[in-house]
A and B are shown apart, each in its own frame.
Chain A
Amino acid sequence: MYTVIELSYIASAVLFIFGLKMLGKPATAVRGNKVSAVGMLIAVVATLLYEGMDYKWILLGMAIGGVIGTVAAVRVPMTSMPEFVALFNGTGGLASLLVGWAEYNTFLNTPGGTLELVPVIAIYLAVLIGGVTFTGSMIAYAKLAERIDGRPVLYKGQQIVNGVLLALLLFCGVVYIAGPGASLAQPLFYLAVLLSLVLGVLVTIPIGGADMPVVISLLNSYSGLAACAAGFVISNTVLIVAGALVGASGIILTGIMCKAMNRSLTNVLFSGFGAAGGAAAAGKAATGEVKAITAEDAYYVLEAAGSVVFVPGYGMAVAQAQHAVRELGDLLEQNGAEVKYAVHPVAGRMPGHMNVLLAEANVPYEQLVEMEDINPTIESVDVCVVIGANDVVNPAAREDETSPIYGMPIINVDLARSCFVLKRSMRSGFAGVENPLFYKENTRMLFGDAKASITTLVDQFKSA
């Protein structure tokens, strides 16, 4: 039986690898996800074949978790996807923590039981990484769902507090690893569980605003590494392989996000972007006149336009405007205009968030273009319509060396022939940076709720 189980684990690891590879290509992504789900099913069934398993708690746990997970996944609106992924990361992390703890607990309850050095260390790592992933994800969730203030929390001596915490964790770890059965090891282990949970909170609160895509990718990677550690705890190859794959993919996504914001990972993790507040951190105050436009005038411009590019941002998600935008896009196409949707890699609150929303609204894949593909031709675009995006179209990134986002690659909407910015008010974006785009000669501000504004434009087209 043992051989069957081990062979099943190999099959399941192979399916994960193929699934993940297929997930990276648009044509095969749907099947890739299913392939990896089959891999998971095989791993679960194989595990249940172990001798001496008590199914009572297993079935109860899987029923509860399965129902919660499935119902949540079916119900969640696409706009809330970032916080949802954060929540799932968190549960994965917590599971790994508990696996490590359970193993230690069994060791304590087994008279004369022994633990080898590697599992002892692995238990500690599973608890540490799992704990940080869990509470870190919960904070990320709360920030994304706007249950708590999304701005970075910085205080004096923050690095020192974190340093002390790390030193304590190191101390607990050393004592525990030196003698996991010793009387002192047990309370220190529980302290370490608690401290790793606290650490997760403390390392996530200083990261805020526009850096959320980076944090989610990073936590995704952690949840994989936590699973890896759990794999070393129970000497299980499939956990190690699958966890390592997720760890690597999370790191790659994190790298992509950092690059898209022209920042290093350490800068994201420790600097508290946009937290210093006030004009000092916000770059040069933009000067000039803000020119508003009415929906009716905007309609006449759009009606005459030969090419229109929509640039969506998080504001589109908040206003739930994606369906109205698609409708407007279709009408513009019928009117003879070339319509495209340009998506910045970090638009929204998680990587690729805007693509998912536009796909939900049935925008065909071919009309979505990436930043590098639209920028070279943007000067020939008649109208750029910016919907709830701010920092990713902020020309200060190109022009103002004092701006905190200087150097970040942006979609150069200000270079298009004209540019409409749909915005509720003149408030600065999530990152709190001044945006000189609003004051440019060829920019027109269409104030109001994005969905309402777009719907008005759609009505104008229909009645024309």
Chain B
Amino acid sequence: MDMLLLLFTFVLAIFLGFEIISKVPSQLHTPLMSGSNAISGISIVGALIAAGRYADSSLGIVLGLVAVICASINVFGGYVVTDRMLSMFKTKEGGK
């Protein structure tokens, strides 16, 4: 039952994603992509659990550690670069 609920969540989230993303102006395609890319770094949650709880063998440690490193690169890099990009978009009045 628990798994069915997760599946239910997944299906609803996919539909939600389609709803909120459609009709994005093309100027924002690159930031949207790198911003959503940063969100996909959410696998950091799984990586943290792997590194924090499953470090029960040397292979486990390596897997967890590398997973955290990769996910952190994705998260930190993704958000910083998206912010950098978006802060360059300006209107003529100088506002953002």
Chain A interface residues toward B at CB < 8 A: 16-17, 19-21, 23-26, 29-30, 32-34, 36-37, 40, 43-44, 47-48, 50, 52-58, 60-62, 64-66, 68-70, 72-74, 76, 78, 81, 84-85, 88-89, 91-92, 94-96, 98-99, 101-103, 105-106, 109, 116, 118, 216-217, 220, 223-224, 226-228, 230-253, 256, 343, 345, 350-353, 355-356, 359-360, 362, 364-366, 368, 370
Distance of A225 from chain B, by nearest CB (Å): 9
CB distance from A105 to the nearest CB of B (A): 5
Which A residues are in CB contact (< 8 Å) with B23? Answer: 24
A88 to B30, CA, bound (A): 13
Contacts of B38 in A (CB 8 A): 33, 36-37, 40, 88
Structural contact, A351 and B40, CB atoms closer than 8 A: no
Q: A248-B14, A360-B88 are in contact. Are A109 and B57 (CB under 8 A)?
A: yes
How many angstroms between the C-alpha atoms of A237 and B41 in the bound complex? 15
Q: What are 22 A-B pairs at a CB distance below 8 A?
A: A20-B35, A30-B96, A34-B83, A36-B39, A36-B79, A37-B83, A44-B44, A47-B45, A57-B55, A61-B66, A61-B67, A73-B79, A85-B37, A88-B41, A98-B66, A99-B47, A228-B10, A252-B21, A351-B33, A352-B27, A352-B33, A364-B90
A246 lies within 8 A of B63 (CB): no
Contacts of B59 in A (CB 8 A): 105
Query: In the docked arrangement, what's the CA distance between A54 and B2, Å?
Result: 27
Tell me, in angstroms, the Cα distance from A111 to B3 when the chains sit together.
24
Per DSSP, are chain A's interface residues mostly helix, strand or loop, or mixed? helix
Q: Output the nearest chain A residue to B44 by Cβ-Cβ distance.
A: A44
Q: Check A106–B14 contact: CB distance below 8 A.
A: no
B24 touches A58 (CB 8 A): no
Chain A residue with Cβ nearest B95: A27
The DSSP consensus for interface residues of chain B is helix
**Contact partners of A223 in chain B: CB under 8 A:** 37, 40
Please determine whether B52 and A57 come into contact, CB atoms closer than 8 angstroms.
yes
Given that A33-B35, A57-B52, A109-B60 are known contacts, is A23 also in contact with B17, CB under 8 Å in the complex?
no
Are B72 and A62 in touch, CB under 8 angstroms? yes
| A60-B65, A70-B76 as given contacts; A230 in contact with B43, CB under 8 Å | yes
B96 to A, closest residue via Cβ: A30
Distance in angstroms from B67 CB to nearest chain A CB is: 4
Hey, which chain B residues are within 8 Å of A74, CB to CB?
A: 80, 84
Q: CB-CB < 8 A to A88: which residues of B? A: 34, 37-38, 41, 73-74, 77-78, 81
Residues of B within 8 A of A234 (CB): 45-46, 49
Contact of A54 among B52, B81, B91 (CB under 8 A): B52
A95 contacts B9, C-beta separation under 8 Å = no
Task: Give B64 Cβ to nearest chain A Cβ, in Å.
Answer: 6
Contact check, A50 vs B72: say whether CB atoms are below 8 A apart. no
Name A355's contact: one of B26, B70, B75 (CB within 8 Å): B26
Asked whether, in the complex, the Cβ of B52 is within 8 Å of the Cβ of A55, the reply is yes
- In the complex the two chains form, is B27's CB within 8 Å of A368's CB? yes
Q: Top 4 closest A-B pairs, CB basis? A: A65-B72, A248-B17, A61-B68, A352-B29
With A20-B21, A24-B23, A249-B21 already in contact, the answer to whether A57 and B68 are too (CB < 8 A) is yes
Return the chain A residue nearest B78 by Cβ: A88
Residue of B nearest to A70 (CB): B76
* A393 → chain B closest CB, angstroms: 16
CA distance in complex: A61, B84 (Å) = 24
A103, chain B: closest CB distance, angstroms: 7
User: Complex: how many Å from CA A64 to CA B72?
Assistant: 8
Shortest beta-carbon distance from A156 to chain B in Å: 35
On whether the beta carbons of B44 and A95 are closer than 8 Å, the reply is: yes
Most buried by B among A47, A58, A106, A236: A58
Chain B residues near A52: list those with CB within 8 A: 52-53
